[in-house]
């Protein structure tokens, strides 16, 4: 079972329904013990980075997320959930993140219309099981004003162009982050959720 973490800032039902559509067992959870008992973890999120970290700490989820990663469980961060995987964000000052990946979250360059909203392409940088069956330059649905800037460029699985090239998918081992919303990205977005479910099943 995949635990979709509910910390008050996620598009939870859409993510849950996306997994349901592709036949992957998932549940929305608020209890860290249920994260501990899950086979895989999804960290969704919309809103402000700092508020999200406050909510995760208050819910006891920071420790649960780290325990999942330390145990080798697959983890998928979606949108804000991807950003939270990094060390810190520049959104509204300095805010410390989960620190699972090295790097910072930075605002999209001045002069661009933000949020970056709508369909945009990904350029696949590295083959990965998460991207199985996803053609290069496929389009997905984005809504964000900040993007991750990994210190380790080996983390970058795909890039997207929007006034600058930013990392739209990152990953190492079985831990992944995606900046777009797969649950809002039609058949190919659902394929990514299906692929993550397959990664979980193989563990």
- Residues annotated as catalytic are 79, 181, 183
State how far Cα 73 lies from the chain centre.
15
Distance CA 134, CA 108 (A): 26
Instruction: Find all residues with CB under 8 Å of 202, minimum gap 6, and list them.
Output: none
Token duo for residue 9: 């800032």
CA torsion angle 123 127 133 137 (round to 10)? 10
Distance CA 4, CA 9 (A): 12
The token pair that represents 46 in the structure block:
């919309």
| Contact criterion met (CB below 8 Å) for 18 and 193 | yes
């Amino acid at each position: 079972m995949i635990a979709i973490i509910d910390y008050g800032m996620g598009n939870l039902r859409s993510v849950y329904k996306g997994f349901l559509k592709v036949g992957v067992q998932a549940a929305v959870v608020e209890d860290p013990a249920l994260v501990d008992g899950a086979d895989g973890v999804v960290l969704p999120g919309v809103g402000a980075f700092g508020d999200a970290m406050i909510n995760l700490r208050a819910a006891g989820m920071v420790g649960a997320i780290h325990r999942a990663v330390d145990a080798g469980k697959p983890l998928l961060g979606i949108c804000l959930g991807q950003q939270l995987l990094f060390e810190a964000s520049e959104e509204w000052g300095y805010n410390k993140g989960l620190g699972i990946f090295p790097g910072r979250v930075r605002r999209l360059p001045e002069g661009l219309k933000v949020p970056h909203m709508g369909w945009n392409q990904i350029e696949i940088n590295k083959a990965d099981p998460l991207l199985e069956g996803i053609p290069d330059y496929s389009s997905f649905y984005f809504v964000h004003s900040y993007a991750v800037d990994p210190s380790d460029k080996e983390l970058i699985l795909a890039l997207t162009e929007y006034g600058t090239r930013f990392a739209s998918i990152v990953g190492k081992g079985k831990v992944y982050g995606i900046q777009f919303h797969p649950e809002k990205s039609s058949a190919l977005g659902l394929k990514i959720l299906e692929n993550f479910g397959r990664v979980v099943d193989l563990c």
